[in-house]
Amino acid sequence: MNLTLKVWRQNGPGDAGRMVTYQVTDVSPDMSFLEMLDVLNERLILEGDDPVAFDHDCREGICGMCGMVINGVAHGEQRATTTCQLHMRHFEDGATVTIEPWRAAPFPVIKDLVVDRGSFDRIIQAGGFVSVPAGSAPDAHSVPVKKENADAAFDAATCIGCGACVAACPNGSASLFTGAKITHLGLLPQGQPERDSRALAMVEQMDLEGFGGCTNTGECTAVCPKGISLDVIAQMNRDYLKAAK
Amino acid sequence: MNYTTGEPIRDTKAPAGPIEDRWDTRRFSAKLVNPANKRKLTVIVVGTGLAGGSAAATLGELGYKVKSFCYQDSPRRAHSIAAQGGINAAKNYRGDGDSIHRLFYDTVKGGDFRARESNVYRLAQVSVNIIDQAVAQGVPFAREYGGLLDTRSFGGAQVSRTFYARGQTGQQLLLGAYQALERQIAAGTVEMHTRHEMLDLVISGGRARGVIVRDLVTGEIETHLADAVVLATGGYGNVFFLSTNAKGCNTTAIWRAHRRGAYFGNPCYTQIHPTCIPVSGEYQSKLTLMSESLRNDGRVWVPVTAGDSRAPGDIPESDRDYYLERIYPAFGNLVPRDIASRAAKNVCDEGRGVGPGGLGVYLDFADAIARLGRDAVEKKYGNLFEMYERITGEDPYTRPMRIYPAVHYTMGGLWVDYDLQSTIPGLFVIGEANFSDHGANRLGASALMQGLADGYFVLPTTIGDYLAGGPFGEVGKADVDEALGQVTGKIGRLLSVGGTRTADSFHRELGKLMWDHCGMERTEEGLRKALERIPELREEFWNNVKVPGDEEGLNQALERAGRVADFFDLAELMCLDALHRTESCGGHFRAESQTEDGEALRDDDGFAYVAAWEYGQDGTPVLHKEELDYEYVKMTQRSYK
Ligand SMILES: Cc1cc2nc3c(=O)[nH]c(=O)nc-3n(C[C@H](O)[C@H](O)[C@H](O)COP(=O)(O)OP(=O)(O)OC[C@H]3O[C@@H](n4cnc5c(N)ncnc54)[C@H](O)[C@@H]3O)c2cc1C
Ligand code: SF4
Ligand code: FES
């Protein structure tokens, strides 16, 4: 198939950026979206142009490194999918596809489609962990965990930190990401001792980074490749309010 | 390519005495660093996967000053995140007869008697603590209704010792290590440098003293110095271009260290994973693994007759060959990876493969769905089925999956002693980047175990013994300048070629050459051909590659070209190693060395050694042999029949 791509090009953080149009031909339906961009980049290199910069690594939907806004939707229109797991069979021959980076103040653009998501790491630094030095852990069976809790904790823990939720939110809120970690650790006995301090510190850090507040729009969960549910935001709010008392 | 033979390696630093006591003995004999001095000692850890992340976090906690590096935008993205199946541990929670000794035995046997007994025993011992550590961190492993941890069995083992978190075990374990690391970053003990790539090692006074890195965002070349350097940079399977590894995985860090004197152990040992999604086209950028746990319930088959092109559902039972169950009745579909991979290759070579190009076999869940119900199958494997459907556009609930072997893991890596120290004093190597513990073949769920054993438990003890001799004083300016010169020289050269081919196109060609001649089956003829072709291709690369842009700012094409350049050199050493080892063992199958019924034929009299290659003066490799003694496990022909 043949496609017209409109790609956001931006040389660096200081550059204003603009959309540039490219034609790609001979796109196979079995290609992933990133492989389609690879083909474009190979051509750009040979033509002496600057290839389009984009982040990616695992190409299996698990590392959270890839991410772009495709036709206005973070990771594209197919639900619960990362960009690397989106395949060209979902596009029509002759279609025009627009490709842009995540846009949110706490995710400054580095180049083209690459943004800086260091703010996510700093939210985790604020308290998204259990303080347990290596070598001091009790036997794993000494604390049983209800299967329902373990499963629900797992569901929240599957967040890949891609940032699509932020990119989709009209307020640029990181509540889905932060709520997922607070919920994951809050559901397990191991997470209890630091539960209050964790909620306070992570929420505070989220604000410090400049992420907006959550107004329950639900755009985040709609684009989340791991299907993280809005419940985690409610859980975060409950934990925060309880701890703030 | 020629090589010479040097002095054998006689001392691996493993303590003598009964194997159960060796690790205790080593721990007791290791010198300690007093807490006030720890603050004065700096350790560089390159890599933030399971090995590097856990090591940096633990060293930080112990009070050392740690500098940590990774090429991704966050330590959480390291390739370890992709591991699906699970992690082994000798907990014997099932009471099915597992023990430290049995895990030790299975691992030595699974590695085809090419791993060191002392190391493997320690790995089995420490495995127990890993699970405790991960659970305490909040890693949400699968649990039974009674609240206890669930386990499953994995290829090559008959006990249920694999702990898992749905199909995302690596992700959850890595997030545990990542969170521990972020905690130390917040505490100020670890200084994190993301989007930084190590491009060379600084050696001064005969010791590893630092690294040269490129800030991938600004393009700046930086020098970082320390009292010791730890490499945890993962495997080099991407030398084959197509593999299940993340795109960025590379050999640069360990190859540069090799050029500076670290021996490279068993470079030819590559694990080919039997259950990957087959290649679908020329543009393909990577292959995707389907967890081996699928073989617990899925049945592998091909048509009995070559060229049978009917749809799988139209092929009656009598016309199907469940070849693993037929040839290996004791293990059936659960034979180890090397055996399953080769068997798939053989049936495809006979023309009985399925799917486009005939390079595929069926992994069929029809029986499991009939027996357990679709819901139960979905619960167990749902996310894997979804992934398969996404990539192939076929529904595995109604049509068997198509799978084919793919490059997955490299057992070779920098040679290390029992302390995980390379032949360069002060350079430690952990996780997939070192050669240790798996021998010629790795059992499933054992890489995660090794990475975390190294990072949480082994390295933090052994490196202390080395650091107790520090601080090591000033680093020579000339040594730093020399390394800097190497790095900037290489970048300058790449940018100035201005040829007509992209780095990726060379990488693809090199990868194809390696897969054809140094892949699942190797022959003397093929390896010689590859050894002739690689230097030609490398020459063409350096004369005709086209790298756009300049050294400033983010330049992903430049990053890639630098990695491909190192893959050429490594590829050559891999082929040389494969050529000199005229036996078959584990992931190294030399067609000239097989039993009458086509199984790998080892030559224990000739080859029961680790091949540790030194980068010789003029580039001629020097082979140092480390003889392997088996005191506790009797060497036997592996049989899964
Ligand atoms: C798809 C898949 C599934 C798997 N499933 C399992 C499983 O179920 N069980 C199991 O036991 N094993 C499994 N494995 C194997 C296992 O995941 C790996 O062997 C293991 O995770 C390697 O960990 P590591 O810490 O050594 O390296 P990695 O996780 O690869 O980390 C390497 C780190 O080094 C950094 N790095 C590399 N080069 C440089 C450089 N030059 N400069 C700076 N930083 C650098 C990277 O940024 C990264 O942080 C699987 C592997 C794959 C591919
Ligand atoms: S919550 Fe979902 S969208 Fe947001 S970072 Fe996590 S995985 Fe990505
Ligand atoms: S590249 Fe890892 S999630 Fe897409």
CA closest to B549 among chain A residues: A50
Section B27-52 average pLDDT = 96
- Supply the DSSP symbol for B583: S
Instruction: Decide if pLDDT at B381 tops 90.
Output: no
Interface test with chain A among B283, B391, B497, B501, by most A beta carbons within 10 Å = B283
Alpha-carbon separation of residue B426 from B215, B226, B508 (angstroms)? 24, 10, 36
Residue A155, by phi and psi: left (phi above 0), alpha (psi -120 to 50) or beta? alpha
In chain B, the percentage of residues whose pLDDT exceeds 90 is 91
pLDDT at B399: 96
User: Where do the domains of chain B lie?
Assistant: 9-269+411-469, 273-408, 477-609
Verify whether the Cβ–Cβ distance A184 to B93 is below 8 Å: no
Interface test with chain A among B131, B195, B389, B390, by most A beta carbons within 10 Å = B390
> Around Cβ A25, how many Cβ atoms within 10 Å?
9
Nearest to B283 among A31, A63, A137 (CB): A31
Q: Contacts for A176-180 with beta carbons within 8 Å, 24 or more apart?
A: A176/A220, A176/A221, A176/A224, A176/A228, A176/A230, A176/A232, A176/A233, A177/A120, A177/A123, A178/A123, A178/A202, A178/A203, A178/A206, A178/A236, A179/A228, A179/A232, A179/A233, A179/A234, A179/A235, A179/A236, A180/A156, A180/A228, A180/A232
Considering every ligand atom, which ligand is closest to the CA of B83? 1
Lowest-confidence region among A114-118, A168-172, B385-389, B525-529: B385-389
Q: Which residues of chain A have pLDDT under 50?
A: none
> Taking chain A, what is the end-to-end CA distance rounded to the nearest angstrom?
59
For the Cβ of B79 lying below 6 angstroms from any atom of ligand 1, the answer is: yes
The residues that bridge with B65 in the sheet, in sequence order, are B42
- For ligand 3, atom 3, the nearest C-alpha belongs to A61
Residues 412-451 of B with CB under 8 A from A: none
- Supply the DSSP symbol for B420: S
Chain A residues whose beta carbon lies within 8 Å of the beta carbon of residue B463: none
Q: How many CB pairs under 8 A join A and B?
A: 215
CA closest to B150 among chain A residues: A147
Supply the angle between the helices A195-208 and A175-186 in degrees, to the nearest 10: 170
Give the position, in ligand 2's atom list, of the atom nearest the Cα of A180: 1
Q: Please give, one letter per residue, the 3-state secondary structure of B546-562.
A: CCCCCCCCCCHHHHHHH
For the Cβ of B85 lying below 6 angstroms from any atom of ligand 1, the answer is: yes
Instruction: Decide if pLDDT at B157 tops 80.
Output: no
pLDDT at B425: 98
Chain A residues whose beta carbon lies within 8 Å of the beta carbon of residue B143: 144-147, 150-151
Answer whether B286 touches A (CB < 8 Å). Answer: yes
pLDDT at B245: 98
Chain A residues whose beta carbon lies within 8 Å of the beta carbon of residue B500: 46
Instruction: Decide if pLDDT at B640 tops 80.
Output: no
Q: Please report which confidence band the pLDDT of residue B156 belongs to, taking 50, 70 and 90 as the band edges.
A: low
Digit-coded pLDDT (tens) for B407-422: 999 999 999 999 999 9
Edge-to-edge strand order for the sheet containing A69-70? A18-24, A3-9, A96-100, A69-70, A73-74
Q: Which of A83, A175, A176 to mutate to test the pocket of ligand 2 (most atoms within 8 A of CB)?
A: A176
CB B71 within 8 A of CB B258: no
Verify whether the Cβ–Cβ distance A134 to B149 is below 8 Å: no
Give the position, in ligand 3's atom list, of the atom nearest the Cα of A58: 2
Say whether B94 sits in a helix, a strand or coil: coil
Verify whether the Cβ–Cβ distance B148 to A144 is below 8 Å: yes
Verify whether the Cβ–Cβ distance A125 to B81 is below 8 Å: no
Q: Which of A117, A209, A214, A228 to mutate to test the pocket of ligand 2 (most atoms within 8 A of CB)?
A: A228
pLDDT at B565: 98
> CA of A82 to nearest chain B CA: how many angstroms apart?
11
Digit-coded pLDDT (tens) for B3-16: 999 999 999 999 99
- Which residues of B are identified as catalytic? 337
CA dist A3 and A24 (Å) reads: 5
The residues that bridge with B229 in the sheet, in sequence order, are B44, B427
Our separate counts of H helices and E strands in chain B read: 18, 21
pLDDT at B85: 86
> Around Cβ A48, how many Cβ atoms within 10 Å?
9
Residue B192 dihedral angles phi and psi, to the nearest 5°: -95, 135
Considering every ligand atom, which ligand is closest to the CA of A226? 2
Instruction: Decide if pLDDT at B638 tops 80.
Output: no
Residues 67-96 of B with CB under 8 A from A: 72-77, 79, 81-82, 91, 93
**B229 burial via Cβ count (<10 Å: 0-12, 13-18, 19+):** buried
Report the Cα B10 to chain-centroid distance in Å.
26
Digit-coded pLDDT (tens) for B426-462: 999 999 999 999 999 999 899 999 999 999 999 999 9
Digit-coded pLDDT (tens) for B278-307: 998 889 999 999 988 888 899 999 999 999
Q: Please report which confidence band the pLDDT of residue B357 belongs to, taking 50, 70 and 90 as the band edges.
A: confident
Distance A55 CA to ligand 3 centre (A): 8
pTM for this structure?
Answer: 0.97
pLDDT at B420: 98
Q: Please report which confidence band the pLDDT of residue B155 belongs to, taking 50, 70 and 90 as the band edges.
A: low
- Structure tokens belonging to residue A60: 């299996």
Q: What is the DSSP annotation of B288-332?
A: -B--GGGGGT-EEEEESSTT--S-GGGS-GGGEE-HHHHH-TTTG
Q: Could you tell me whether strands A114-115 and A109-111 are parallel, antiparallel, or unpaired per DSSP bridges?
A: antiparallel
- ipTM for the assembly: 0.98
The residues that bridge with B364 in the sheet, in sequence order, are B299
Alpha-carbon separation of residue B98 from B89, B93, B105, B152 (angstroms)? 9, 8, 11, 13
pLDDT at A102: 98
Digit-coded pLDDT (tens) for B237-290: 999 999 999 999 999 999 999 999 999 999 999 999 999 999 988 899 999 999
CB B17 within 8 A of CB B636: no
- Structure tokens belonging to residue A140: 């794993």
Q: Please report which confidence band the pLDDT of residue B235 belongs to, taking 50, 70 and 90 as the band edges.
A: very high
Q: What is the DSSP annotation of B189-211?
A: SEEEE-SEEEEEEEEETTEEEEE
Q: Please report which confidence band the pLDDT of residue B1 belongs to, taking 50, 70 and 90 as the band edges.
A: confident
Look at the block and give the residue holding tokens 């016309």.
Answer: B319
Q: Could you tell me whether strands B65-69 and B190-193 are parallel, antiparallel, or unpaired per DSSP bridges?
A: parallel
Residue B564 dihedral angles phi and psi, to the nearest 5°: -60, -40
CA dist B468 and B227 (Å) reads: 10
Residue partners of A214: CB distance under 8 A and separation at least 6: A169, A171, A173, A175, A233
Section B520-548 average pLDDT = 98
CA dist A170 and B4 (Å) reads: 66
**Ligand 3 interacting residues, C-beta cut-off 6 A:** A 56-59, 61-66, 82-84
* Nearest to B112, CA basis, from B598, B596, B584: B584
Q: For the structural domain made of B9-269+411-469, what CATH number should be given?
A: 3.50.50.60
Q: B273-408, which class in CATH?
A: alpha beta
CA angle B629, B448, B117 (to 5 degrees): 10
**Structural domains present in chain A:** 3-100 (3.10.20.30), 117-244 (1.10.1060.10)
Nearest to A117 among B73, B135, B147 (CB): B73
Verify whether the Cβ–Cβ distance A50 to B548 is below 8 Å: yes
In chain B, the percentage of residues whose pLDDT exceeds 70 is 100
Distance A104 CA to ligand 2 centre (A): 14
Look at the block and give the residue holding tokens 């970082």.
Answer: B224
Kind plus residue range of the DSSP H or E element containing B38: helix B35-38
Q: Please report which confidence band the pLDDT of residue B475 belongs to, taking 50, 70 and 90 as the band edges.
A: very high
CA closest to A145 among chain B residues: B147
Q: Could you tell me whether strands A18-24 and A3-9 are parallel, antiparallel, or unpaired per DSSP bridges?
A: antiparallel
pLDDT at A210: 98
CATH topology of domain B477-609: Methane Monooxygenase Hydroxylase; Chain G, domain 1 (1.20.58)
- The one-letter amino acid at B619: G
